[in-house]
Amino acid sequence: MAHTYLLFDFGPDESKVQQARHKLESWKQAFRLDKKLQYKLEREQAASPEPEAEFTKAEPAKAEKAKPSASKAKAKAKPKTKSTDASPAETENHGDVKLFVRLYFSGHEKLSEQRWLDRIPAEEPFKRASPKIVRESEPAFAEILKQFDTLE
């Protein structure tokens, strides 16, 4: 069975990534491509995550100083955590997002594989993401395979 990888670089545009993910999920369900079409996202971290870490370290020190009213400290902490939990996409995803799509068709499904290789990069959210196809016979395949396997 041959593996083929499609690589898409969406940049920091989270809405296009979500559109692409939704389209892939709908294709998987509609065409029963559960094991044949798999995808993973690679999110690069923002350039300056350190100021956030310093800010979170400073908050517990302030809360420890205000120990006399523990209920007030808990009440103050809850809204702050809700605001960060409610929008993890805003705080975490300021870097570029890359989408790895793996097509895994058997030898007798060459026509189906070729149709998907033609269809996916031609669809709207994938067009502008600079699609790149890496086949099993290419030298960059081993590196892409390792990278795909290390992603969640």
Residue 103 DSSP class: E
Half-sphere exposure of 64 (CA within 13 A, CB side): 5
Half-sphere exposure of 144 (CA within 13 A, CB side): 23
Q: Does the pLDDT at position 71 exceed 60?
A: no
Q: Does the pLDDT at position 62 exceed 90?
A: no
Could you give the domains of the chain? 2-45+93-150 (3.30.70)
Q: What is the pLDDT of residue 96?
A: 92
In the predicted model, what is the mean pLDDT of residues 5-14?
Answer: 95
Q: What is the pLDDT of residue 103?
A: 96
Least confident of 38-42, 45-49, 131-135: 45-49
Report the residue count for the chain: 152
Q: Does the pLDDT at position 93 exceed 80?
A: no
Q: Specify whether the CB–CB gap between 38 and 28 falls below 8 A.
A: no
Q: Does the pLDDT at position 94 exceed 80?
A: no
Q: Specify whether the CB–CB gap between 113 and 4 falls below 8 A.
A: yes
Q: What is the pLDDT of residue 68?
A: 52
Q: What is the pLDDT of residue 16?
A: 95
Least confident of 19-33, 75-89, 107-121: 75-89
